[in-house]
Structure 1
Amino acid sequence: MRTAFLVAPEGVEQIELTSPWDALATTGETPQLLSTAPGSVQAFNHLDKGATFPVDMTVDQVSADDFDLLVLPGGVANPDALRLDRRAVDLVRGFFDAGKTVAAICHAPWTLIEADVVRGRTLTSWPSLRTDIGNAGGTWTDQKVVVCDNGPNTLITSRKPADLEAFNARILREVGAMT
């Protein structure tokens, strides 16, 4: 299974990138880091700068057809920047149109909202996105992980870093690494 992680050049919450990445790596998966610009991305540990990570490909070099799974890590600045980039939004929408699995944590559903793919779906997120999700036609619920199969694809969402164990387990189940 080919997995893509989509992040902005700056602002991704580091643990929300590295934890699912490392979980997938234990299965032999080699995820690809996509961004809107080449080079590297600057991660954050809440408001403090964290590590930098090399970008494998930019959004204009790939399509949803190149991958089976898309992971959208959070951080406040990361999805806020992604939702302003038409190419990133189109890529996210492409995963939904192709019926592929998408996993999003924390503030990442902002990008889903911009891609207009939450209507009629149930999901979770950081609590401050509750109204945004409702206004976009989705149903917000307060759970560690929510799996919504209402549509052509599977959407996995989670609230926050404290929920990463459940989020990662559900992603691994999706790729067939756990039952």
Structure 2
Amino acid sequence: MSQLAGKRVAILAADGFEQSELLEPMKALKQHEAEVDVVSPKTGQVQGFKHFDKGEQVAVDIKLSEADAGKYDALVIPGGLFNPDALRVDDQALAFTREFFKAGKPVAAICHGPWVLANAEVLKGRTVTSVPNIRKDLENAGAKWVDEEVVVDQGLITSRTPDDLPAFCAKLVEEIDEGRHGGQKRSVA
């Protein structure tokens, strides 16, 4: 049996996600036999980007309004500029995100993805990283921001950019395998 067999992970995405920040974690999770669903406010497909250029479209598995956070073991929020900017003002996306924190489940966000966490008001007292452009937003939401490849704070995994994806994906798999917001307060790879 593989490391994540029997685990189910939601990737919360809207149009404008950074392609590698959705596809690489999805690939890592599936390599470890996790079931992965792309959850989105819309049905059909969501449009990925490679920086400023349109990339691949990814099929939506479950519409956000029909998704139940209780059926998932973890949540991933990819970055890109447009994806988290749309999700952070979507009340259903914020409520869905908060459910993972209430249940103590692992949550991973990369690049601009932590914007969603700031608006969900789940960052107070947490140590995080992100793309530097949103540092002040995260600090204003109560987080301690650090410039590190990957930061883990009680099951909350954050990274800065696509360059950090190998470390981000490794910690994502590790935290889901552990299955909780717990363990040591903060570890850095």
Task: Give the alignment's TM-score, normalised by structure 1.
Answer: 0.94
Report the residue type matching 1:107 in the other structure.
Answer: H
Which residue of structure 2 aligns with residue 139 of structure 1?
144
Q: Partners in 2 of 1:30 and 1:15 — Cα distance?
A: 19
Q: Partners in 2 of 1:121 and 1:171 — Cα distance?
A: 17
| 2:81 corresponds to 1:80 | no
State whether residues 128 and 146 of structure 2, in contact with CA within 8 Å, keep that contact through their aligned partners in structure 1. yes
Shift of 1:129: 1.1
Shift of 1:175: 2.9
Q: Partners in 2 of 1:112 and 1:63 — Cα distance?
A: 18
Aligned length: 172
Which residue of structure 1 aligns with residue 120 of structure 2?
115
Shift of 1:176: 2.9
Gap runs ≥5 in structure 2: 1-6, 179-189
Which residue of structure 1 aligns with residue 59 of structure 2?
54
Q: Partners in 2 of 1:129 and 1:122 — Cα distance?
A: 14
| 2:174 corresponds to 1:173 | yes
Q: Partners in 1 of 2:96 and 2:32 — Cα distance?
A: 25
| 2:160 corresponds to 1:159 | yes
State whether residues 63 and 94 of structure 1, in contact with CA within 8 Å, keep that contact through their aligned partners in structure 2. no
Report the residue type matching 1:148 in the other structure.
Answer: D
Secondary structure at the counterpart of residue 33 of structure 1: strand
Secondary structure at the counterpart of residue 31 of structure 1: strand
Report the residue type matching 2:17 in the other structure.
Answer: V
Could you give the per-residue CA deviations for residues 108-138 of structure 1, whole angstroms, max 9, x where no partner exists?
Answer: 0100001000011000000011111111111
Report the residue type matching 2:72 in the other structure.
Answer: F
Which residue of structure 1 aligns with residue 25 of structure 2?
20
CA RMSD of aligned residues (A): 1.0
Could you give the per-residue CA deviations for residues 68-88 of structure 1, whole angstroms, max 9, x where no partner exists?
Answer: 110000001100000111101
Which residue of structure 1 aligns with residue 104 of structure 2?
99
Secondary structure at the counterpart of residue 35 of structure 2: coil
Task: Give the alignment's TM-score, normalised by structure 2.
Answer: 0.89
Could you give the per-residue CA deviations for residues 38-64 of structure 1, whole angstroms, max 9, x where no partner exists?
Answer: 110000001100011110001111121
Q: Partners in 2 of 1:130 and 1:83 — Cα distance?
A: 15
Gap runs ≥5 in structure 1: none
Q: Percent identity?
A: 48
